[in-house]
Amino acid sequence: MSGFTRLFNPRGVAIVGATEDTIRAGGQALYAISHHGYAGNILPVNPNYDTLGPHRCYRSIADIDQPCDVAVIAIPAKHVPGVVEQCGQHGIPFAVVLGGGFREAGPEGVANEARMLAAARKGGVRIIGPNCLGLANIHQNVFAGFGSITKPPKLKPGAVSAVIQSGGFGNSLVIQTGEQRVGFRYVVASGNECDIQAPELINAFVDDPETQVILAYLEGVADGRALMAAARRALAAGKPVVILKAGNTQQGLRAAASHTANLTSSYDVFRAALKQCGVIEVRDTHEAADYVQCFAAGRAAKGRNVVVMGGSGGSAVAFSDAADEVGLKLTPLSANTMDVLRDNLPSVASLENPVDYAAGFISDKNAPRFLNALDAVLADPEVHQVGLLLATSTGRTMFNGVAGVVNALKKSDKPVMLFCSIPYAAAPEGYDLIAAEKIPMQPSPRRVAYAMATLADYYDVLQQRERICNPPQPKPRALPPLPAGAVTLDELESKNVLRAFGVPVTHDVLVAPGAALPANVKFPLAVKVASRDIAHKSDIGGVCLHVQDGSQLEQAIVEVLRNAKRAMPQANIAGTIVAEMITDGLETIVGVVNDACFGPVVAFGLGGILAETIRDVTYRVAPFDKIEAQAMVRDIRGAKLFDGVRGQPARDVDALANLSATRSDMAWLMRERVAEMDINPVLVRPVGKGVVAADALIVLK
C-alpha cells in the first residue's frame, strides 16, 4: 500500500475548477469532499473566487499553502496537462482527472493525453482517470471525485475494496453489493486508466491490511499478465477477487470501444486467465453481491458437503437441484447428529438431509431445540457448510432462526447461509440481526447453492495457492533454428520444431517430386502435400489417408500433387509427405495463440468437425504446469471420451498433459517469434501408448 497511502489517505485535497454550481463536476467535487466528514485540508482552486463556502479558494495549485496529496481536476481537457505539471512542481503526488477529451476523443485528445502523461512523469505525479468518477475512502470519508460515487446511498465502512472501470455501472455493482450488508473500504472509479490501471490498484488493495475482499468491474485490461500477477498476489494473501467483465460480445465490444478505450481480449481467454489465478468471475451484479457478502463474512468452506435445514420442503427441492448443478453433496448426517435431531425436532420432521423441521417450528419456545439441532449439524465432522432455508418465515419464527444461527456461529467456524424470501417489513427484527451480524443471505435456494459452491471453489484454489501463485518458469534454452521473417513453416519444418522440444511426431518421409517411392514403409500410410504456401492441406485435397499398398501409394502421390497444383498453382511445392498413419488415436487439437492482452495462450480441444462446430475448446495462459494441463483435458464438454466410452479404450491423458505442458513451455520460450502454432491432430492413443502429433503448423512473426 505504501505507494498509494497518500492517494487513499490524503492530508489535503485540491479541487481544481471548484465552483458553487453543484451541477458542474467541479461543484460536485467540492461538495463531495466538504460534506462527508473529511478531516483533511479542503483546497478549492479557481481564480474566479476568493472563498467557496467556508474554504479559502486558491488562484492556482502554486498558491496552495497547506499539505495537499491529491488534486481533483475538473477543468477542460486542454488545460489539464498544465495543471498536472503544476502538481509536480508543487509536490502533489496524485491527480484525479475527472473529465474526458483524451485518448477516446480522437487525435487531438491522444496528443493531449501524451502531454498530460509527460507532465506527470516529469513531476512524479500519478494519475487516476481521465474520464472517471474518482475515488472514495469510505473509512476516512475521502470522496475525491464527482457523480454517483459521491452521492447517496452512502456505503458503510467495511473490508471490501473495489476498482471499477466505468463509474455508472461499476458503481451499480458496488451499490448493489453494499445493499447486501457489505461494507467497503476503497472504491476507485478508474476511467480510462491512462496511468494507474486496475492491476496496480488491486495490488494496492492486496497490500492494504484492512482490505479482505477485492471487487472489480472491468471492460478490458491493457496488460493481462499484470492483472494475473495482481490476482495471484491476492490469492497468496488469501483475499478473494471477484470480477465482473463486460465488453465480451460483438455488440458489447462495439459499445465498449465507444465507451472507454481499453484493449479488449477474447473473452474466452480472459475467463480462462482469471480462472487460472483463482479469480471468481461473475456475469451479473447480483452474483457479485451474493458472493462478496459470503467472502466478507470471512468463513472458509472446507469442502462440498452441505446440509440444508428448513421448514419449506419446496425450498429444499430447489436447493437440491442447484446443488447437483454445482457439485455440492447433500451429505448424510452421522448417527450422532441424527440422534440429536430426533431428540429436538418435532415428530413430523424429516431428519435426513435436507432436514425439514416443519414450517413454524422455531417458536420462542422451540428456539433452544432448534439451536441444539443446528449446533449438532455444524459439529458433524462430515459437514462443511449449512444452509438455513427460512423461506417465507416471518416475525419471531424468522428472528429465532437467525438468532439460532448467530448463536451457533459462535461455536463453529463453518459458514452458514440463509435463504429468506420475505421483505424487511415482515420480519424487521430478524433482518436487523442479519444486518448487524452480517450473516450471508440469498433470496433463493439456488443462489444459496451457487454461493456455497463458490466458497468451496475458492477453498480448493486456496489449497493450491503455492502452485497457482508460482507458475513454472521454463528454463531458457537454445531454440531450434528458425527462418527469419513472418513465414509459415510447412508440416515437416513445423514437426522438426516440435521434435526439438521432445514432442512425439509421426514417422514421415519427404518424397521430392518425381523421386522414387520410399522403401520399407509400413502400411497404412497418409500422403500429404508439402508446401509452406499451403497451410490447410485437406481443404484443397492435399491429403490422402488410409493408403493401403504400393499401388495406392503411387496413385495418392500423383493425386495430392495434382490437387495442390490445381488449387494453388503459385504454391512452391517441396514434394509429398509419406507419413505413418496412427489408427488408434482420438483426435485432439493443441494450439497456441498470441493474445493481444495475455500473450502466448495454449488452446486445447477435441478434433473433428462437430467439436470445432460447437467450439469445445479450453485455454490456459502459458507457461503453466502439468496440473493445469490435466485440468484442461477435464474442462472440455467431451472430456468423458478420454475415459473410453462405447467400448473404446481409455486414453493416455497423462501423455496428453505432458504434451500440453511442453506446448506451454514452447509458447513461452518462442513468444518473440511465434504468431500461431497448431498441432492438429494430436492423436491420443490408448493408455500407455502415448500421443503423436500427426500434423503441425507454425506461423512465425
Binding residues among 267-286 for a second copy as defined by CB under 8 A: 283-286
* CB of 647 vs a second copy, minimal distance in Å: 6
The residue (of 637 and 689) whose beta carbon lies closer to a second copy is 637
Count Cα atoms within 13 angstroms, Cβ side, for 273. 29
**Minimum CB distance to a second copy, residue 129 (Å):** 14
Binding mask 506-545 for a second copy (x = CB under 8 A): ---------------------------------x------
Cell of 463: 489449497
Residues 660-699 that bind a second copy (CB under 8 A): none
Report, in Å, the least distance between residue 362 CB and a second copy: 12
β-strands 575-580, 508-511: how paired? Answer: antiparallel
Contact partners, residue 114, CB within 8 Å, separation at least 6: none
Q: How far is the CB of 107 from a second copy (least distance, A)?
A: 18
**Smallest gap, in angstroms, from Cβ of residue 85 to a second copy?**
26
- Please give the residues from 75 up to 104 whose contact with a second copy meets the rule CB under 8 A: 100
**Could you tell me which residues come within 8 angstroms of residue 633 by beta carbon, excluding any fewer than 6 positions away?**
604, 639, 642, 653, 656, 657, 660
Could you say which of 137, 161, 171, 265 contacts a second copy (CB under 8 A)? 171
Among 65, 179, 339, 549, binds a second copy (CB under 8 A): 179
Q: Is 23 in the site for a second copy (CB under 8 A)?
A: yes
Residue ranges of alpha helices (H) inside 568-625 are 609-613
Residue among 259 and 685 whose Cβ is closer to a second copy: 259
The grid coordinates listed for 242 are 471477484
Site membership for a second copy, residue 430 (CB under 8 A):
no
Considering only 60, 141, 169, 459, the residue that binds a second copy (CB under 8 A) is 169
267-290 in b/e burial notation, b at 16+ Cβ within 10 A? Answer: ebbbbbbbbbbbbbbbeebbbbbb
Question: Which residues from 99-138 bind a second copy, rule CB under 8 A?
Answer: 100
Task: Confirm or reject binding of residue 447 to a second copy (CB under 8 A).
Answer: yes
Euclidean distance between the first and the last CA atom of the chain, given in angstroms as a whole number = 40
Interface with a second copy: number of residues (CB under 8 A) = 96
Closest contact distance (angstroms) between CB of 206 and a second copy is 24
Rounded Cα distance, 697 and 600, in Å? 16
Residue 171 or 488: the one with the smaller Cβ distance to a second copy is: 171
How many residues in total does the chain contain? 701
- Using DSSP's 3-state secondary structure scheme, residue 84 falls into helix
Binding residues among 138-157 for a second copy as defined by CB under 8 A: 147-148, 151-153
Residue 311 gets which letter from DSSP? S
Residue 477 has, within 13 A of its CA and on its CB side, a CA count of 13
Least Å from the CB of residue 642 to a second copy: 10
Instruction: Give the one residue of 352, 413, 549, 554 binding a second copy; rule: CB under 8 A.
Output: 352
- Quick one: which segment of 36-44, 250-258, 496-504, 554-562 binds a second copy (CB under 8 A)? 250-258
- Position 454 contacts a second copy (CB under 8 A): no
Nearer to a second copy, 62 or 317 (CB): 317
> How far apart are CB 155 and a second copy at their closest, in Å?
11
Compose the 367-406 pattern: x for residues touching a second copy by CB under 8 A, - for all others: ------------------------xxxxx-----------
Dist CA 75 CA 584 (whole Å): 70
Strand segments (E) across 349-452: 355-356, 385-391, 416-420, 441-442
Identify which of residues 146 and 205 has a Cβ nearer to a second copy in the complex: 146
**Cα-flanking dihedrals φ and ψ of residue 368, to 5°?**
-60, -35
Candidate list 110, 263, 317, 512; residue touching a second copy; CB under 8 A = 317
- String marking each residue 190-229 x if it binds a second copy according to CB under 8 A: ---------------------------x-x----------
For residues 498 and 641, which CB has a smaller minimum distance to a second copy in the complex? 641
Which residue type occupies 529? V
Binder of a second copy out of 422, 509, 567, 631 (CB under 8 A): 422
Q: CB of 499: closest distance to a second copy in angstroms?
A: 28
**d(C-alpha 551, C-alpha 548), whole Å:** 8
Answer yes or no whether residue 172 interacts with a second copy by CB under 8 A.
Answer: yes
356: nearest Cα among 348, 364, 367, 365: 348
Interaction with a second copy in 456-515: which residues (CB under 8 A)?
A: none
Residue 517 or residue 645: which is nearer to a second copy going by CB?
645
175 or 674: CB nearest a second copy: 175
Show contacts with a second copy in window 40-69 (CB under 8 A): none
User: What is the 8-class DSSP label of residue 381?
Assistant: T
Residues 328-347 that bind a second copy (CB under 8 A): 330
- Residue 130 Cα distances to 138, 190, 193, 344, 423, angstroms: 22, 8, 7, 62, 41
| 683 grid coordinates | 492423436
Q: Could you say whether residue 260 binds a second copy (CB under 8 A)?
A: yes
Which is nearer to a second copy, 302 or 447 (by Cβ)? 447
364 binds a second copy (CB under 8 A): no
Phi, psi of 639 (to 5 degrees): -55, -30
* Minimum distance, C-beta of residue 288 to a second copy, in the bound complex (Å): 10
What ranges make up the beta strands (E) of 130-194?
134-137, 142-145, 157-164, 184-189
Least distance (Å) from a second copy to the CB of residue 286? 7
Which of the residues 565 through 624 are near a second copy (CB under 8 A)?
606, 608-614, 616
Burial class of residue 300, CB neighbours in 10 A (0-12, 13-18, 19+): middle
Q: CB 23 → a second copy: shortest distance, Å?
A: 7
Given a contact cutoff of 8 angstroms between Cβ atoms, the answer to whether 619 and 694 are in contact is no
Burial of 365 (0-12, 13-18, 19+ CB in 10 A): exposed
Q: Shortest Cβ distance from residue 66 to a second copy (Å)?
A: 30
Nearer to a second copy, 330 or 521 (CB): 330
Nearer to a second copy, 383 or 498 (CB): 383
Q: Which is nearer to a second copy, 125 or 373 (CB)?
A: 373
As given in the structure block, the three cell numbers for residue 642 are 478420454
Return the C-alpha cell found at 152.
Answer: 447517496
Closest CA to 148 of 129, 161, 134, 130: 134
Binding span for a second copy by CB under 8 A among 51-59, 64-72, 205-213, 642-650: 642-650
- The correct pick among 443, 504, 599, 649 for binding a second copy (CB under 8 A) is 443
* Residue 445 touching a second copy (CB under 8 A): yes
Separation of alpha carbons 639 and 379, rounded Å = 37
Residue 535 parent element (H or E): none
Three-class SS string for 351-366?
CCCCEECCCCCCCCCC
647 binds a second copy per the rule CB under 8 A: yes
Query: Are the beta carbons of 246 and 619 closer than 8 angstroms?
Result: no
The neighbour count for residue 73, using CB atoms within 10 Å, is 31
Smallest separation, CB 162 to a second copy (Å): 13
Reduce the DSSP state of residue 160 to 3 states and report it: strand
Q: Rounded to an integer, what distance in angstroms lies between the CA atom of residue 400 and that of residue 456?
A: 27
Report the distance separating Cα 359 and Cα 313, nearest Å. Answer: 9
Closest approach of a second copy to the CB of residue 394, in Å: 6
Residue 254 binds to a second copy (criterion: CB under 8 A)? yes
Give the integer Cα–Cα distance in Å for 263 and 525. Answer: 47
